[in-house]
């Protein structure tokens, strides 16, 4: 069961990295893939800590930082949509010229 859980978390991680690298035109897709990667890393940390019987304080701190990262990404997304009308990176860079 432990090997299956570890393999599943690594598979989820690499799927998130693939989506992050292939769907980089939309900011929303980038943020969702980053959250997917964070959830897979959280699952991997919990499995690792369960395997060695450590305390579970580090996953709580990790979740706090990941929620802060998600809130920061959503605030950037909202400000980008309000100022430019969409979340395409191409239209964002063209307006800087």
Q: How confident is the model at residue 89 (pLDDT cuts 50, 70, 90)?
A: low
Report the domain count for the chain: 1
Region 41-60: what's the mean pLDDT? 88
The model's pLDDT over 4-30, given as tens digits with 9 standing for 90+, comes to: 888 998 999 999 999 999 987 888 888
Model pTM?
A: 0.81
DSSP state string for 13-61: HHHHHHHHHH--SBHHHHHHHHHHHHHHHHHHHHHHHHHHT--SHHHHH
CATH at residue 40: 1.10.287.3510
Residues 57-73: tens digit of each pLDDT: 888 999 999 999 999 98
Is the pLDDT at 91 greater than 80? The verdict is: no
Residue 64 lies in domain: 2-94
């Amino acid at each position: 069961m432990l090997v299956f859980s570890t393999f599943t978390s690594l598979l989820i991680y690499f799927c998130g990295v693939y989506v992050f690298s292939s769907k980089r035109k939309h900011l929303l897709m980038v943020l969702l893939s980053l959250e997917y990667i964070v959830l897979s890393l959280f699952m991997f940390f919990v499995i690792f800590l369960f395997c060695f019987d450590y305390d579970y304080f580090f996953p709580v701190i990790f979740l706090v930082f990941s929620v802060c990262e998600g809130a920061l990404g959503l605030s950037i997304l909202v400000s980008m949509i309000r100022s430019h009308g969409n979340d395409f990176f191409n239209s964002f860079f063209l307006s800087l010229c």
